[in-house]
Structure 1
C-alpha cells in the first residue's frame, strides 16, 4: 500500500489494522476470558519481515505488523508466569499477490529480500 492521498487509503489501512492487529488482540482476549487459553498454552502470531526495512509502499503494513510485534512482547511478559508462551513468526520476503509490485523493481525486491534474518529471504 502506498501512503498517499488516495480516497481508499483509509479503508485499506483499516483493513490492514483489522487483520494484522485487531483480530489477534480480540482473539487472545476472547480465549483468555472464556477459559480456552489454559496455563501452559501457546500463542503464535504471524508478523512479517517488513518491520525490519523501510519501504514507503508498505508503511501501513509495516506499522500494523510492528504493532503486532509489540503486542506479542507484552503478552509474553504478562502470560509467561502462567507458562503460556507467546511468540511471533516473521517470514521474510515471500512472492505473493500482495508483493507483486516488487517484481518490476529489482532494487526494492532485493532490499525486501535482504530484510530477512541473516539476509535470507
Structure 2
C-alpha cells in the first residue's frame, strides 16, 4: 500500500487506537471514521480496525478451515469498492470476525438486499 490510501490507513489506526483507549467499540470507531472517509463499509471497517489488506488476508487464512481457495489482496480491494465484486456470505462472516463486528454492518442495506434470502439470513445471524 502506498500514497494517500496508506496515509489514510495510518491516520485511521491512530484515531482508532485513541478511540479504543476511550472505550469506543469498533462499530463506534467506524461511525467516527465515516465522517472523514466516505468509503464503502468493507473498507471503512478495515480502516476502523487499523489493518492493511495484507494483514486481513493473513488473518483470513488463519481462520479459514480448509486448504482451498483463500482471500487475496486484489480480491479484497475488489470487494471494498463501492459497486465492486460482491463477497460471499461466508467471506463476509469471516471478515466480520476479523474486524470484530457483525457481517451485516459490512454492507449497505441496498447491497444486502441483492443477496439471496438464505444468504441474507446467514449474514444477519452468523452464529446460527
TM-score (norm 1): 0.29
TM-score (norm 2): 0.28
Higher Rg of the two aligned structures: 1
Between structures 1 and 2, the one with greater strand share: 1
Between structures 1 and 2, the one with greater helix share: 2
The structure, 1 or 2, with the larger RCO (C-alpha pairs under 8 Å, 6+ apart) is 1
